[in-house]
Structure 1
């Protein structure tokens, strides 16, 4: 876990365990297109393989997400980061942190996805988290964000942000400033 709280991470609550087991079963039956859960014996940390959607800048590229679930999931958002090397994207920092303020976008081969941050420019992984969201919905939002990108580049403030995140600061501790929704 990249957070400084990695050593003090509390065990999952019964509600969190039940919810994650339910999501894991659903994932095994109906995984989101372009994603593969790498099975481990740790329910509290999922490693997910992400395959770029065909016809996009990220086609034929594979990345890994690390999803760390807090004690009170789903009432509290999981921490979601790319395991380096992370994709070159205007909303993904080189340390794997993701700023997922996503407008309504269309992913080739997938239906239109609307995220709750459209109106107020907050991040669905943090400020606008809802317990109704699932690992699958997070993954689809991330794939939508990647697929809608028109450029492969880091955020303008990448170096400053990464420098300020040394010592394992969690992206959940970040107050995100949005550069805009067009990429």
Structure 2
């Protein structure tokens, strides 16, 4: 890794660890293999959102060209959000693409991601299925996102009727996450999800 990238990320890493704002926001960051080119972040779901109480792990890769190019960040924890892929964890956020500026820091990225969790941008989605549900069926979206937070991010709130439907598909021989994804995409209709899976 280039010296400029290493010295910059070392400084930012310390800044994040010492930041009171970051600590209050329940955000953490750590090195992977004592190597500044790869970090692991953890964001707590913001209050008054379906992600509240959940802990979401991020993979953060620092490119050789940092800080002139943004870090590559994706969610390792599965999440139901219009701007984050429910399959790959890829994130659609302007500062991680064309709106990045060299003055931005790791702290900016982490706080922006937490803010994105609280205020989705469904008109610029990463996951079209989730975005459509967010816009057309907001209650269904909240329940689905809450359910995913409970299952994948140790969130405190369960949605028992969703659990039952996942169990029914599991009993038919489908892997749990495959069942959950199909149900989530089919508005939790067992019939539609079954058709999709057998289709």
Give the TM-score band, short-chain normalised: 0.5 to 0.7
The aligned counterpart of 1:21 is 10
TM-align CA RMSD: 2.3
Deviation at 1:58, TM superposition (A): 0.7
Structure 1 segments of 4+ aligned residues over 6 angstroms from their partners: none
Q: How does 1:59-138 map to 2 (within 5 A)?
A: 59-83=52-76, 85-93=77-85, 94-100=87-93, 123-138=94-109
Separation in structure 1 between the aligned mates of residue 121 and residue 72 of structure 2, nearest angstrom: 26
Separation in structure 1 between the aligned mates of residue 121 and residue 70 of structure 2, nearest angstrom: 28
Separation in structure 1 between the aligned mates of residue 6 and residue 55 of structure 2, nearest angstrom: 29
Q: Structure 2: any 5+ residue segments left out of the alignment?
A: 131-199
Deviation at 1:88, TM superposition (A): 0.5
Q: Which has the larger radius of gyration?
A: 2
8 A contact 2:44–2:52 mirrored in 1: yes
Separation in structure 1 between the aligned mates of residue 106 and residue 91 of structure 2, nearest angstrom: 15
Which fold has the larger relative contact order, with Cα–Cα distance below 8 Å and residues 6 or more apart in sequence?
1
The aligned counterpart of 1:155 is 127
Paired residue total: 123
The aligned counterpart of 2:51 is 58
Q: Structure 1: any 5+ residue segments left out of the alignment?
A: 1-11, 101-122, 159-183
Deviation at 1:154, TM superposition (A): 7.6
Deviation at 1:86, TM superposition (A): 2.3
TM normalised by structure 2 equals 0.57
TM normalised by structure 1 equals 0.61
The aligned counterpart of 1:144 is 115
